[in-house]
Amino acid sequence: MSELHDLTALEQASAIREGSLSPVQLTEHYLSRIEQLNDTLGAFVTPTPELARAQAVEAEKGLQAAHREDRPLPPLYGVPVPVKDTLAVAGVRTTRGSAVFADSVPDADDPLVGHLRNAGTIMLGKTNTPEFALPPYTENKVAPPARTPWDLALSAGGSSGGAAAAVAAGLAPLAQGTDDGGSIRIPASVCGLVGIKPSRGRVAAGPLRYDAAGLSVSGPLARTVADAAALLDVMTGAASDNPYTAPPLPKGTTFLSYAGKDPGPLRIVALVNPPIPGVHVHPDCLAAHHEAITVLRELGHHVDELDVPADESGRRAFQTLWAVLAVAHPVDERAEADLMPLTRHLRKVAGGISAPEYAEALQVLRAMGQLVSGALLQSYDVMLSPTLAQPPVPVGGLRDDDPQAELENLTRFTPYTPLYNLTGQPAMNVPLHWRQDGLPIGVMLGADLGDEGTLISLAAQLESARPWFAHHPAMW
């Protein structure tokens, strides 16, 4: 180990508990890297050095008290975990990626921020997001674009692009993200990370964005499966007014415990053709998918390759519900001109959605969940597919002056990920494949509602068979 950021988050936490590393020392290390690299990377919208230092001092005091009282500490105690700039943090501006809210400062924490505080993690700042966390790129009017550290000409993806860029470049050991249609898994693929979209209802929602359809959920981004699982343990818990509740874990287990558990032989269905008609899959993404099949079979899993007919109904339902998310943020009519073109377009579309159209979209959402659980996952334990249909794209490469053309670009880029937001099932990106030029190309694993444990065990097995932790970008 030559630098503190070379350690995994769990290794950092262990060193803190043992007394060989202090929360203050670790926090200063990451604040220094943010100061040096963030202007180039676009990972953070609002670094919070004063808050981070104050929390680190409190963590130091808590560590000393725990030692005196022989009291155990949470698994990630003293470890920095930034949050996406869609979450409310009391006293810290929350832009939601929008110039309209550039000066908005909430006076209360999101429930999830409370979980992170209670676990003793350190808040380095607010990570970059596109406006209202809508598109799968991270470009807005309040901060520089988020770039993947593997090639700074390329986008970090989105909408949790700032979070992924921060972790991949060593500006944070872990990060929280949100996923409405792939917003954790997309940047995880682009930045070479583990990214988990948990089951619907697994993590507390609100107060800024109550998503009645249940598309959106928060989850972890990390460099290792165990780190991601440990952060998911911290994040787990529903607020009393959360409209959804995920199935509980078996008594006495944690998500982290699954990272050390042999998954046993699994029945896996590999789905390569996109669920949306007319979408072409890039050879790099096909190569990643087929490499994953090979590795899974080498590990003793049974893998069937199936073609499922493409269907427009899922895309129509998702885009209807997604457009409604764009109007979940109240914007004064006089400020509409300050919104990004895609946001304005989606809000206009949402204004024309009738009650029967919205009800139909919800019915498709429920039907797809029943179809996947009742058909595919009665015969299989895990679904495998490419995470994306294209490799990382240049900054600005998905945007278009014509919002309808931009929507087509987004569909061609990420046709696979929205399925799990519609069904509510857990899914995760694993960085199993790397191009010859060093760019990561992820693959996606999905399981039945509440079965994050199987995904975590399988991903940990893949990580052990094909270690990816030693891959670092040049700016590392």
Which of the residues are catalytic? Answer: 84, 159, 183
Identify the helix (H) or strand (E) that includes residue 202. Answer: none
Cβ neighbour number for residue 285 with a 10 Å cutoff: 24
User: Sign of dihedral through CA atoms 135, 137, 138, 139?
Assistant: negative
The first and second tokens of residue 255, run together, are 């998500």
**Is the separation of the CB atoms in 456 and 229 below 8 Å?**
yes
End-to-end CA distance of the chain: 13
156 and 444 Cβ atoms separated by less than 8 Å: no
Element (H, E) at 292: helix 283-298
The token pair that represents 415 in the structure block: 């046709």
Using alpha carbons, list the distances in angstroms from residue 88 to 54, 113, 137, 162.
Answer: 18, 8, 21, 16
d(CA 197, CA 218): 7
The rounded Cα 149 to chain-centroid distance in angstroms is: 17
Q: How far apart are CA 189 and CA 416, in angstroms?
A: 12
* CA separation for the pair 15, 78 (Å, rounded): 10
The total of other beta-carbon atoms located within 10 Å of residue 414's CB is: 28
- What is the per-residue burial (b if ≥16 Cβ within 10 Å, else e) of 380-411? bbbbbbbbbbbbbbebeebbbeebeebbebbb
Q: What is the DSSP string of 407-465?
A: HHHHHHH-SSTHHHHHH---EEEEEEEE-TTS-EEEEEEE-STT-HHHHHHHHHHHHHH
- Rounded to whole angstroms, how far apart are CA atoms 425 and 403? 29
The closest alpha carbon to 226, from 76, 440, 67, belongs to 76
Interior angle at CA 421, CA 313 and CA 93, nearest 5: 130
